Amino acid sequence: MSVFSFAIGVGTKNNDGQWLEVYYQAPLLHPTTELINAAKETLGYEGGNEALDVDGAELNAFADAVESNFPAQAMLARACTESKKPIVVTILGEDTQATSTPEVYLKLHLLSHRLVKPHGVNLAGIFGLLPNVAWTNHGAIDLKELPQAQLEARLNGELLSVNSVDKFPRMTDYVVPSGVRIAHTARVRLGAYIGEGTTIMHEGFVNFNAGTMGVSMVEGRISAGVVIGDGSDLGGGCSTMGTLSGGGNIIISVGEKCLLGANAGIGIPLGDRCTVEAGLYITAGTKIQVLDDQKNIVEVVKGRDLAGKSDLLFRRDSISGAVQCVTNKTAIELNNELHANN
């Protein structure tokens, strides 16, 4: 049988037995039929999408069944038998809309492990399945249980530090992709896809289901759903418009070898080798003067008419204030030394 994903996870539940979060060390995409058959025989998997609460005996039985052909999964299963935290085996028969918190966390892990690319997995309805959690130096804590946890920590001479209150944790508490630099880890959410060679500086931000496809310098904001092509540079304070808050369905993207200047922004997708001048925000409705090689105005169009086109330079006339577009003859090349993240 064909199955979309499989993972063994260790997580956190609140006092009512509801899942708050799940950590999957080694999720699998399209696991083999043999592995899934072992899950049926030992863990009670019946097909479809399931999040199975399992105990030590079931994990040992599963490990025995897969040890010869899947030693890494067997080792992980045996390690989890000694866990003081709840263990879940999550199996996604199909990439359909999630129905449980462990399923959502598995999909977010698949993105951050680079097993699927942004927009490559069904994330419909995930907000209703992700509880708002206090992320602390002692892990995830239900907000209703936070005051008691804070008191207990104080009575034990400890400080319970609340790092954030959010539905999404920071990615690096779950996944640290190879070949990246992340200066401020709290600004990258689980579910971000960070390409090999990417550098995210202190003010850079990457949301879930978004990210970089290769070598990029990120000093601005990559909103949910936005994909940045290889070799592109997002300058300090720049912004990419997501699709969540505006209710639109246009997927914003940046092609390869593009530059968004400091404090610039886009509400349209860019093709390859495009530059947006510092401080200039281009939206779908922005009126833009298109110039020829002699800098004569050929026509006036809206930003949406230039969406996805390559080799364009967007700028603002410093005298008239008009937004202009000319052919970009000098596509940027990023400094290779800056992106040596090995």
CA dihedral 43, 48, 50, 52 (to 10 degrees): -10
Please check whether the domain covering 5-129 is classified as CATH 3.40.50.970.
no
Query: Where do the domains of the chain lie?
Result: 5-129, 134-166, 171-339
Token pair for residue 340?
């040596």
**Could you read off the pLDDT tens digit of each residue along the chain, which spans 342 residues?**
589 999 999 999 999 999 999 999 999 999 999 999 999 999 999 999 999 999 999 999 999 999 999 999 999 999 999 999 999 999 999 999 999 999 999 999 999 999 999 999 999 999 999 999 999 999 999 999 999 999 999 999 999 999 999 999 999 999 999 999 999 999 999 999 999 999 999 999 999 999 999 999 999 999 999 999 999 999 999 999 986 544 456 789 999 999 999 999 999 999 999 999 999 999 999 999 999 878 888 899 999 999 999 999 999 999 999 999 998 655 444 455 545 666
Token pair for residue 137?
């130096």
Token pair for residue 296?
């004569």
* pTM, two decimal places: 0.93
Token pair for residue 247?
């209710």
Radius of gyration of the chain (CA): 23
CATH number of 134-166: 3.30.60.70
Look at residue 136 and give its three-state secondary structure.
strand
Give CA–CA dist 210/254, Å, rounded.
11
> Which residues are CB-contacts of 151 (< 8 A; sequence separation ≥ 6)?
none
**Side-chain half-sphere exposure of 312, counting CA atoms within 13 A:** 24
Catalytic residue annotation: 219
Tens of pLDDT, residue by residue over 90-100, are 999 999 999 99
CATH number of 171-339: 2.160.10.10
CA angle 37, 43, 46 (to 5 degrees): 65
Picking from 331, 113, 327, 335, the residue whose alpha carbon sits closest to that of residue 215 is 335
Give CA–CA dist 114/275, Å, rounded.
27
Transcribe 145-202 into DSSP letters: GHHHHHHHHHHTT----EEEEESS-BGGGT---TT-EES-GGGBBTT-EE-TT-EE-T
Token pair for residue 102?
């462990």
